[in-house]
Amino acid sequence: MKRLTLPLLALALIIISATAGKSHDMALQRNLKTFNAMVKVLEQNYVDSIRIDDAFKAASRAMLNTVDPYTSYYSPDDRDELLKMTTGEYAGIGSYILQMGDYVCISAPMEGSPSEKAGLMAGDKIARVDSVDAKGLKSGEVSKLLKGNPGTEVRIEVIRPYVEDSLKTFIVTREKVGEKSVPWFGMISPEVGYIKLTSFIYNTPMEMTAALDSLSRIPGFSKLIIDLRGNGGGLVESAVEVLGNFLPKGTEVLRTKGKGSERVYKTTHKPTHPDIPLAVLVDGGTASASEITAGALQDLDRAVLIGTRSFGKGLVQTSFPLPHDALLKVTVAKYYIPSGRLIQALDYSNRNPDGSVARIPDSLTNVYHTARGREVRDGGGLQPDSVVEIKNYSDILYNLVTKNKIFDYATRYRASHPGSPEIPGMQIDDDTYADFSAYVSQSDMKYDSSFDELLKEVRKQASEQGYATEESDSVLDHLQTLLGSDLERDLRFKRKEISEYLLEEIASRYYGDTGRILVGLQSDPVVEKAVEVLTGPAYEATLKGSGK
């Protein structure tokens, strides 16, 4: 009887699997036919003409929304954007842009780009591109006007705030420009080097190698910080190449598993820095390929992770060509780092009844072990070995940033302070902060704090439930006075954090991303912690592990 049971079970499973597959295929064919018939009926009978391209985009978006946010359709017009994401290269003037009211502004010219060579500056309002009036256009529309074939010229008229003869004209020759994935590296203490890594694109391994070579020639360099905060990832292959600088050749750093496929990624070259003490900085913006890098180094006990929990993206995408030069970027696999764990935080295959996706709770995650036996967990991103909690932005700072008050004041400051100040000596002194506060007050900036919103809800509920009285209104009014938004008070109370952000923006007006990074490093608690760990006993103590 037992000898018969197993074969029968196996046969039953095969039949069920085949039936399920056939049922799925039949449902697919049925729905495709229905959709095709629906389009024809609408086209032939709807009272007005149908904008077929818009209808198709809407239908495509609705279908892709049922899978995950990383599976995306790219029309022929959007292909360049996907190419830029993976290569960091495009043909244009080489400048970041920002929407500010009726105008699109130059946010920051890239270092060495055509826009920087031509003399465009952060804060310039783009008034005209060739013969097109740019006032009222959105940033995407202006971006398309600025891009073009390398070697072609574009005439750009800008309004430069806070200077005389503010209308200026620039003739810029477009070039093939590329974003840097290593915007700055250098020594931040006699022993500790620092590399800021912002993305993983085709040229990332070369930039990383060049940075390491330069640091290695500096006397005293013996420890390294790699800053992956805010790094949203990119190419898996680039992450593997970067890992090869620190791990033995042939080390498995990643395994991907898709439908009927599995791929193993190993380092392919001799490491340049196999033994250097290493700290990797992570936060909620550290995702995808940057999590592969940080996670592999953690699992192999090759680095200490410092900061806050990473984003938690354990999915891999590949692009497939579609008819008429369109593309479909599809999630094709999940990735597993050396301990065997999957760090994906959201399970898109199991949605809530309302279609939302909940984060996997820590209580449902599983324990894995690093090479030396330290406990690590799957699901929910990477948990740092040393957590440094960062305070959330205050409501006043959030509004100053999103309403572009800090950006605009930095433009004004640069116009009235020519020259190149020394970054170590740059600070927001009393006079500068008083001038900034006066500028914000005169702009009549209005904002509601989170407490304002809470009080509004309390008043609403009290009224609906019949509890609103003269006495309760008096109490809520008093709370509003004490804790509600007050521009002048909040500017005084939050001076320290506002000044830090303001100083970074002002420094960027003189030295671009380099200035922003250098000023930020002067008061960065995560970097301070990393230096402390690398130069003290905590580094080895963390990596020793406690056994399984």
Q: Are the C-beta atoms of residues 324 and 397 closer than 8 Å to each other?
A: no
Residue 546 Cα distances to 300, 309, 452, angstroms: 14, 22, 49
Nearest-CA neighbor of 211 among 199, 189, 193?
Answer: 193
Kindly give the pairing relationship between strand 315-322 and strand 304-307: unpaired
Question: How long a stretch of residues is the chain?
Answer: 548
Candidates 313, 329, 405, 529; catalytic one: 313
259 phi/psi in degrees, rounded to 5: -70, 105
Nearest-CA neighbor of 408 among 122, 156, 139?
Answer: 122
- Please indicate whether residue 496 is annotated as part of the active site: no
Question: What pLDDT is recorded for position 17?
Answer: 54
Tokens of 151: 């070697």
Nearest-CA neighbor of 245 among 207, 217, 196?
Answer: 207
Q: Could you tell me which residues are beta bridge partners of residue 96?
A: 108
Question: 541 CB contacts (<8 Å, ≥6 apart)?
Answer: none
Q: Are the C-beta atoms of residues 346 and 312 closer than 8 Å to each other?
A: yes
How far apart are alpha carbons 426 and 203 in whole angstroms? 33
- Please indicate whether residue 313 is annotated as part of the active site: yes
Question: What pLDDT is recorded for position 547?
Answer: 38
How far apart are alpha carbons 248 and 83 in whole angstroms? 32
Three-state secondary structure call for residue 480: helix
How far apart are alpha carbons 344 and 379 in whole angstroms? 5
What distance separates the 2 farthest-apart alpha carbons in the chain?
97
How far apart are alpha carbons 48 and 146 in whole angstroms? 36
Question: What pLDDT is recorded for position 324?
Answer: 83
Q: Are the C-beta atoms of residues 274 and 248 closer than 8 Å to each other?
A: yes
Q: Tokens 């790219």 label which residue?
A: 74
How far apart are alpha carbons 218 and 221 in whole angstroms? 6
Task: Report the alpha-carbon angle 162-163-168, nearest 5.
Answer: 115
Question: What pLDDT is recorded for position 326?
Answer: 85
Task: Report the alpha-carbon angle 392-396-401, nearest 5.
Answer: 85
Positions of E strands within 139-276: 153-159, 167-173, 175-178, 184-187, 192-196, 223-227, 252-258, 261-266
- Give the CA count within 13 Å in the CB-facing half-sphere of 111: 13
23 phi/psi in degrees, rounded to 5: -65, -40
Question: What pLDDT is recorded for position 548?
Answer: 37
Q: Are the C-beta atoms of residues 205 and 242 closer than 8 Å to each other?
A: yes
Candidates 95, 113, 238, 288; catalytic one: 288
- Please indicate whether residue 261 is annotated as part of the active site: no
Q: Is the torsion defined by CA of 437, 440, 446, 447 positive or negative?
A: negative
Question: What pLDDT is recorded for position 74?
Answer: 85
What single DSSP character describes residue 359? B
Q: How many helices (H) and strands (E) does the chain have?
A: 17, 21
Q: Are the C-beta atoms of residues 301 and 370 closer than 8 Å to each other?
A: yes
Q: What is the pTM of this model?
A: 0.87
Candidates 124, 283, 299, 490; catalytic one: 299
Question: What pLDDT is recorded for position 1?
Answer: 45
Positions of E strands within 345-455: 367-369, 375-377, 386-387
Tens digit of pLDDT per residue, the chain (548 long)? 445 454 545 555 455 555 556 677 788 888 888 888 888 888 888 888 888 888 888 888 888 888 898 998 888 777 777 777 777 677 899 999 999 999 999 999 998 899 999 999 999 999 999 999 999 999 999 999 999 999 999 999 999 999 988 899 999 999 988 889 999 999 999 999 999 999 999 999 999 999 999 999 999 999 999 999 999 999 999 999 999 999 999 999 999 999 888 999 999 999 999 999 999 999 999 999 999 999 999 999 999 999 999 999 999 999 888 888 888 899 999 999 999 999 999 888 888 877 788 787 887 889 999 999 999 999 889 999 999 988 788 999 999 999 999 999 999 999 999 888 888 878 999 999 999 999 999 988 888 778 778 888 888 888 888 888 888 888 888 888 877 778 899 999 999 999 999 999 999 999 999 999 999 999 899 999 999 999 999 999 999 874 33
Q: Could you tell me which residues are beta bridge partners of residue 304?
A: 279
Task: For the chain, list the domains and their CATH numbers.
Answer: 89-178 (2.30.42.10), 184-390 (3.90.226.10), 395-447+485-530 (no CATH)
